[in-house]
Every structure is written in structure tokens, then in C-alpha cells.
Amino acid sequence: MLSWFRKLLPREDRFFDMFERHSRTVVGGAEALEQFLQGKDIDRWCQKLTFFATRLAG
């Protein structure tokens, strides 16, 4: 009866650790983008955006 529910559960033991890391990366990238678009210290925030983008890609 609950077999469909079990299929939805994560199979990776480190799922929540990976989810937390991904969440921090997305939030950090969003904050960097916000500062970049406001024109505050553009070089610094461009470097941060590059860091978060490569972190998500890899």
C-alpha cells in the first residue's frame, strides 16, 4: 500500500547533506546576484557569482 511512498524517499544516504549544500549554494548565488545587480562592488560580486556558478556546475 505504501510502496509508492517508499519510491519517493531518497535512496542516497547523504541526500540531506547534499540538499543542504546545494541550498546554501543557491542562496549564496542569489544574494551575490542581488548585490551585483545593485551595482555594489561589481568586481567582487562578479567573482562570487562565478564561484557559485562553477560550484553548481561541478
Rounded distance, CA 5 to CA 29, Å? 33
- Model pLDDT, residue 1: 62
The per-residue pLDDT for range 22-55, each reduced to its tens digit, is 999 999 999 999 999 999 899 999 999 999 999 8
- Evaluated on CA atoms 17, 22, 54, 35, the torsion sign reads negative
Residues in the chain: 58
pTM: 0.72
Confidence of residue 8 (pLDDT cuts 50, 70, 90): confident
pLDDT number for residue 43: 95
Q: Is residue 8 classed as helix, strand or coil in its secondary structure?
A: helix
Q: Which residue has the cell 551575490?
A: 32
Q: What is the pLDDT of residue 33?
A: 95
